[in-house]
Chains A and B, each alone.
Chain A
Amino acid sequence: MTGDHLLEVRNLSVDFHTAGGTVHAVRNVNWHLGRGETLAILGESGSGKSVSASAIMNLIDCPPGEIVSGEILFEGRDVLKMSQEERRDLNGRRIAMIFQDPLSHLNPVYTVGFQIAEVMTTHGTRKAEARARVLDLLERVGIPEFETKIDAYPHQFSGGQRQRLMIAMALALKPDILIADEPTTALDVTVQAQVLELLEELQQETGMGMLLITHDLGVVAETADRVVVMNSGEIVEAGTARDVYHAPSHPYTKKLIGAVPGAGEMAEPLDTGIKPVLEVNRLSKHYGNFVALDKVSLTVLPGETVAVVGESGSGKSTLAKTLLRLEEATAGEALWEGRDLVTMGQPELFDLRRDIQMVFQDPTQSLNPRMSVHDIVAEAFVIHPQILPKSQWRDRVRELLAHVGLEAAHMSRYPHQFSGGQRQRIAIARALALEPRLIICDEAVSALDVSIQAQVMGLLADLQKEFGLSYLFIAHDLPVVRDFAHRVIVMKNGKIVEQGPVAQIFDAPREDYTRNLIAAGLHPDPDIQAGRRAARLELQGA
Chain B
Amino acid sequence: MTTGIDSAGGTTPITEVPQSSAARQIFRMLWRDKLAFAAAIFLVLMVLCAVLGPLMLEDQATRQNLRGRNAPPFDFSRDWLFWLGGDTLGRPLLARIIVAAQNTLMVAAGAVVCSLIIGTTLGLVAGYSGPRTSQVIMRFADVIMSFPSLLLAVIVLYMLSPSVGNLVIVLAITRIPVYLRTSRAEVLEVRERMFVQAAQVMGASGRRIVFRHILPIVMPTLVTIATLDFAFVMLAESSLSFLGIGIQPPEITWGLMVSQGRPYLTTAWWQSFFPGLAIIMTTLSLNLLSNWMRTALDPVQRWRLEIARKKK
Contacts and interface: CB of A to CB of B under 8 A. Distances in A.
Given A63-B310, A64-B303, A45 B201 contact: no
B5 interface: yes
Contacts of B306: 18-19
Interface string A230-266: 0000000000000000000000000000000000000
A358 interface: yes
A326 interface: yes
B195 A367 contact: yes
B2 interface: yes
Contact of A324 (B201, B308, B310): B201
A383 B3 contact: no
Given A64-B307, A360-B198, A419-B14, A51 B2 contact: no
Interface residues of A, number: 64
Contacts of B15: 18-20, 416-417
Interface stretch (A54-62, A139-147, A285-293, A514-522): A54-62
B307 A17 contact: yes
Contacts of A379: 199, 202, 204, 212
A438 B195 CA distance: 19
Interface string B129-172: 00000000000000000000000000000000000000000000
Interface in A397-448: 416-420, 427, 430, 434
B193 interface: yes
Interface string B198-212: 111111110010001
B307 A19 contact: yes
Contacts of A215: 8
Contacts of A190: none
A82 B306 CA distance: 31
B16 interface: yes
Contacts of A74: none
B1 A61 contact: yes
A484 interface: no
Contacts of B12: 416
Nearest to B303: A64
B17 interface: yes
B302 A54 contact: no
A61 B2 contact: yes
B195 A25 contact: no
Contacts of B212: 371, 379
A28 interface: no
A350 interface: yes
A325 to B, nearest CB: 9
Nearest to B200: A326
A21 interface: yes
A19 B305 CA distance: 9
B194 A360 contact: yes
Contacts of A185: 8
B79 interface: no
Contacts, number: 141
Contacts of B197: 326, 358, 360, 366
A125 interface: no
A59 B200 contact: no
B17 A59 contact: no
The B interface, classified by DSSP as helix, strand, loop or mixed, is loop
A358 B198 contact: yes
A302 interface: no
Contact of B203 (A16, A49, A353, A362): A353
Contacts of A364: 11
Interface string A1-40: 0000000000000001111110101000000000000000
B3 A353 contact: no
A54 B7 CA distance: 10
A379 B201 CA distance: 12
Contact of B195 (A16, A48, A366): A366
A416 B5 CA distance: 16
A430 B201 CA distance: 11
Given A367-B195, A379-B199, A20 B8 contact: no
Contacts of A418: 14
Contacts of B213: 368
B298 to A, nearest CB: 13
B8 A25 contact: no
Most chain A CB atoms below 10 A, which of B8, B13, B199, B310: B8
Given A326-B197, A360-B194, A434-B202, A23 B217 contact: no
A284 interface: no
A434 B194 CA distance: 18
B216 interface: yes
B307 A18 contact: yes
A370 B216 contact: yes
B8 A182 contact: yes
Contacts of B2: 54, 59-61
A46 B11 contact: yes
Interface string B1-30: 111011111111111110000000000000
Contacts of B10: 45
The 4 closest A-B pairs by CB, nearest first: A45-B9, A353-B203, A19-B306, A20-B15
Interface of B: 1-3, 5-17, 193-195, 197-205, 208, 212-213, 216-217, 302-303, 306-308, 310
